[in-house]
Every structure is written in structure tokens, then in C-alpha cells.
Structure 1
Amino acid sequence: MKRLFPAPLLSIALFVLWLLLNLSVSPGNLLLAAALAIFAPVLMAPLRPQHAHVRRPLVVARLIGRVGIDVIQSNFHVAIGVLRARQRPPRSAFVHIPLDLRDAHGLAALSMITTVVPGTVWSELALDRSVLLLHVFDLEDEASFIEHFKHTYEHPLMEIFE
């Protein structure tokens, strides 16, 4: 059974996602969703040498909620910053954030979070994974931004993956 479904949650997610994206539960879409759910994880299993171990599911739920709130708030802040650009240009800056997170899965989740939240762009990760270079659309205080980033995103990810 493990050979057919190496990642059962991924298979379920792919199946549901296919049906949601197509907005149809026709026999053809059910067949394609099942094929995707079975074959994609099997074909991609060799590309994923490590398996993630999620240690605190409640922290995952809290982090997802926090990211959702940040996405909404950041959309408004970026929109206001763009609309007010003539009166007060945004103070864009690159910020070096020292990282304590070392787990590859945690870093991947952190990169997705920074990609999803408007106004931040993951620019570079040091080879030793100790420093993240992040571009911020409108930065008021670098020290408070670093503290917020580490407390809001990095610390929960460390609880989840390390």
C-alpha cells in the first residue's frame, strides 16, 4: 500500500485540488484526478529524499490563520502604498534576517509564506542557511520587522519541523 500511496495526504490533496480547479465531478475529471493522485506522488517520490515530520498540528493551524490575516493586511498596505506613491514613495529595502531555522521543509514553508504575503520577496538564502535576504516593499523600522518576521513565521516553523 505504501508503494501505491507514498504520500496519502498529498494524494488526497491532489485529487480534491484537481476537482476544485476544474469545477466538475464528471467521470472524466474523476478519472484524471485519481490518476494524478496516484501517479504524481509515486513519480516524484525519488525527488524527495527526506520525509517531513510535523510535530505540532495545532501550531500549523495557528500559523495558517496568521498567514491568512497577514495576506489580507499586506494587500491593503501595499495597495495604499501604491496609491500614495506620489505623496510618499515607499521605502523599499533589502533586509538581512538571521535564521535559526535549519530544517529544509521549514525553510521551504518559509519561502512560500514570504512569496504569498504581498510586499515581501525572498531574494537569497546564505549557503549555510544562516541568513535570509528579503526585499520589503515599504519598510518603516528594520529591527521591528526582523523581530516580527522571526516571531510570526520562523518560531512557529521551528516548533513544527524541528
Structure 2
Amino acid sequence: MKRIVPAPWLSVGIFGGWLLLNQSLSVAQLLLAFVVALAMPLLFSALRPSPGPMRRWGVLLRLIALVGVDVVASALQVAFGVLRARRRPPQSAFVTVPLELRDPHALAALAVITAVVPGTVWSELAADHSVLLVHVFDVPDEAAFVAHFKQTYERPLKEIFE
């Protein structure tokens, strides 16, 4: 079965995405969605990374919820920061966050989290994976930001992947 459908969830996602994008449930679209959903994972299997060592599913669910809350809270903070920018300009800065993470899957998840949370405009991972350089929209206290970042994102990712 793995030879025909190497990534079943990916195939389901492609199938559903195809139908949503085409906004049609005609027989032709269903057939085409089915063919594409089977063919794409087979054609691109060499590009797909090996699955990560997932541990501690409860921590993963808490992290997802926490990131969701942080996205909303950060979006509000950025909005208020923009609105009050004339009275108190934001203190944007490049912040260096020392990392303990080494697992490539955990580092990729950290990059995604950093990209989706508003206020973290840009990030770069050092070549040796020891430091993450993050540009933050408004950071009055760098030490507090680093402590929050490590506690909120890095620690759970270490529990999940390492």
C-alpha cells in the first residue's frame, strides 16, 4: 500500500485542495483530483524529508494552541504599536537568541512559528544552528524577549523532537 500511496494524508490534502480550488464536484474533477493526489506524492517523494521523531503529542497540542494565542496577541500588539507610533515609536531590534535545538525538524518548526507570529519580521539561523537572529517590531527588553522565546517555543520543541 505504501508504494501506491506513500503519504496518505498528503494525498487527502491534495485531493481536497484540488476540489476546493476548482470549486466543482463533477466526475471529471473528482477523477482528476484522484489522479493528481496519487501521482504528486509519488513524483516528489525524493523531495519529502523523512518523518521526524515525534514524541509528547500533548506538548505538541499545547504548543499549537499557544502559538494560536500568540498570533492573535502579537497581531493586536503590532496594531496598537502602529497606532501609537507617533507618540511612542516602536523599538525594533535584531535580537540574538541562543539555541539548544539541534533536530532539523524542530528547527524547521521553530522557523515556521517565527514566521507566523506577527512582530517577528525576519529571522536567520546561523550556519552551525547555535543562534537565531530575529528582527522584532517592538522589543523594549531584549532579555525578556529571549527568555519568553526560549520558554514558549524552544522548550516545547525540545520536548517534542529531542
Q: Do the two structures share a fold, i.e. TM-score over 0.5?
A: yes
* Structure 1 residue aligned with 2:8: 8
Runs of at least 5 residues in structure 2 that lack an aligned partner in the other structure: none
CA contact (8 A) 1:63 1:153 kept: yes
* Structure 2 residue aligned with 1:43: 43
Q: What is the root-mean-square deviation in Å for CA atoms of aligned residues?
A: 1.9
* Structure 2 residue aligned with 1:88: 88
Amino acid at match of 2:117: V
* Structure 2 residue aligned with 1:132: 132
CA contact (8 A) 1:98 1:130 kept: yes
Partners in 2 of 1:116 and 1:148 — Cα distance?
A: 16
Q: In the alignment, is residue 155 of structure 1 matched against residue 148 of structure 2?
A: no
Partners in 2 of 1:63 and 1:151 — Cα distance?
A: 11
Partners in 2 of 1:9 and 1:25 — Cα distance?
A: 20
Partners in 2 of 1:153 and 1:22 — Cα distance?
A: 37
The CA deviation string for residues 12-64 of structure 1, in whole angstroms up to 9 with x for no partner, is 23333444455554434433433343222222211135322211222221111
Per the TM alignment, residue 85 of structure 1 is displaced from its structure 2 partner at its CA by 0.9
**Large movers: runs of 4+ above 6 Å:** none
Percent identity between the aligned chains? 62
Partners in 2 of 1:117 and 1:101 — Cα distance?
A: 19
Question: What secondary structure, in the 3-state scheme, does the structure 1 residue paired with 2:94 have?
Answer: strand
* Structure 1 residue aligned with 2:65: 65
Runs of at least 5 residues in structure 1 that lack an aligned partner in the other structure: none
| Structure 1 residues 4 and 105: alpha-carbon distance in aligned structure 2, compared to 1, 3 A threshold | same
- Matched positions, count: 162
Name the larger-Rg structure.
Answer: 2
Question: What secondary structure, in the 3-state scheme, does the structure 2 residue paired with 1:128 have?
Answer: coil
The CA deviation string for residues 56-97 of structure 1, in whole angstroms up to 9 with x for no partner, is 222221111111101110110000111111111100000110
Using structure 2 for the length normalisation, give the TM-score. Answer: 0.89
CA contact (8 A) 2:6 2:42 kept: yes
